[in-house]
Amino acid sequence: MAEIIGRETEIKRFTEYINSDKAELVAVYGRRRVGKTFLIKRFFNEKFDFYLSGAENASKQQQLFNFTAALNKYSGKENPIVKDWQNAFIQLEQYLRSVKTKGRKVIFIDELPWLDNAKSGFLSAFEYFWNTFASSQKDIFLIICGSATSWIMNKIIKNRGGLHNRVTRQILLESFTLNETEQFLKSKKMILSRFQIAECYMILGGIPYYLEQLEKPLSLSQNIDNLFFNKNATLQEEYSKLYSSLFKSPEKYMRIIEALAKKRKGLIRDEIVKFSNISNGGGLTTMLEELELCGFISINNNFSTKKNLQLYQLTDFYSLFYLHFVKGKRKTNSDYWSSLIDSGEYKAWIGYSFELLCQTHISQIKRALSIGGVVSYTSGWRSKDAENGAQIDFLIDRNDNVINLCEIKYSTKEFVITKNYDENLRNKRSAFIEETNTKKSVHITMVTTYGVKHNEYWNNIQSEVLLDDLF
């Protein structure tokens, strides 16, 4: 247990579920490399009554061979290799009935989607096993896991057949927060400032596997060169593998991602259709839902509540960084990233990425504003004048009759509000009040790295949030 970094909520839930008095079918899902298998194995100290992992792109025969090998290991017997999944689960049932240990019988089937080959019969056999045996055994604790989140959702959680409403618990494992990332890096004995940890997060996105690749003796910029830009860089080919592992037709999903990467502030649905060259039908709706579910994009509702003005925004930091700096770029030196640090391209990227970092740590911002206990909703807002009007990327609409208009600014020192910027903020606030007809108090909140310099224009700011608050 001591090896698990963060994940307090998930640990609490696993502890609650394992102590229930009924059979449990727990679905754990989340994007590739987020640490699902690690969490489950560490929580249970790898003490399972049966463990099987699907193998990527393996045949039905190979998957069944692996099943028999796992069954032999746990049962201590030499079982014959089965030819179909129906008989495989019959063997599993027979073995579990023979287990006489007290307490829960914990079964962990990892990468479940990879076991479901075309015409393999896996899903119907699994369904039969759960419905006719496992669900009636109070000591059964069955965990299923997979990175193919859309498969888990559509074939298991939203199943309309024999598995309808059979999942008793579900856990979506998300990326580390900044705080968890800081804990993880400290466990690796890496000494980085919070400013550097934030930059690291804006590149790797709090994904444990990516963070694990960082090497202690190297600086952050040297590590990024090693991971992305040097020969045989570990994460240079991760992009295509990432989407191929999650979706059956990854090309269309990647076209959506790449369209969103070009317009960082986000696109409405019609714009996605235009820039991705994907038809505006039900298929697009499904793809957008699945990308959101996997944590690659977010839907930023417009304050006006008009659904057609919903902004879809790329929120996967790794994908954003890869598409901006790696894909299609020629690197002529091994310290490519280090050489970009003071460039305009770098400054534009990190300015936007800091906005995204703040938007993915909304609960921390609310806590810093002392409104964690106030019911509130976050959204964006676009003026009716789409070309020349004001746009607010992030606002908090509170039930205590206050709206925080959040201005997010990245800076390497205290941010200075100039006369022109002050005028811009006041005009933006006025336009919002006029167009929305809101009766609530509208406060301007500055979210910055090191705070706002207290000059003659600072007094128009009602509240501040600093980088430290996001931790």
Mean pLDDT for 132-152 is 92
Mean pLDDT for the stretch of residues 116-139: 94
- Determine contact, residues 284/246, Cβ cutoff 8 Å: no
Per-residue confidence band for 101, with pLDDT thresholds at 50, 70 and 90: confident
Phi, psi of 26 (to 5 degrees): -105, 120
**Mean pLDDT across the chain, nearest whole number?**
91
- Domains in the chain, start-ordered, CATH in brackets? 8-172 (3.40.50.300), 176-346 (1.10.10), 361-470 (3.40.1350)
For residue 463, the cross-strand partners are 445
Q: Which are the contacts of 218, defined by CB distance < 8 A and separation ≥ 6?
A: 226
**400-425 pLDDT, tens per residue?**
999 999 999 999 999 999 999 999 99
How large is the average pLDDT for residues 335-358? 91
Q: According to the model, what pLDDT value does residue 311 have?
A: 85
59 φψ region: left (φ > 0), alpha (ψ -120 to 50), beta (else): beta
pLDDT at 430 over 70: yes
397: left (phi over 0), alpha (psi -120 to 50) or beta: beta
More confident site: 342 or 41: 41
pLDDT in tens, 294-305: 889 998 877 765
Record the pTM. Answer: 0.89
**What pLDDT shows up at residue 295?**
86
Does 334 score more than 80 pLDDT? no
| Average pLDDT estimate for 390-404 | 91
383: Cβ–Cβ under 8 A, 6 or more apart, which residues?
389, 390, 391, 431, 435
pLDDT per residue as tens digits for the range 459-470? 889 999 999 999
Q: Is 209 exposed, middle or buried (0-12, 13-18, 19+ CB in 10 A)?
A: middle
Residue 306 has pLDDT above 80, yes or no: no
* pLDDT for 305: 54
Structure confidence by residue, pLDDT tens digits, 379-389: 888 787 756 67
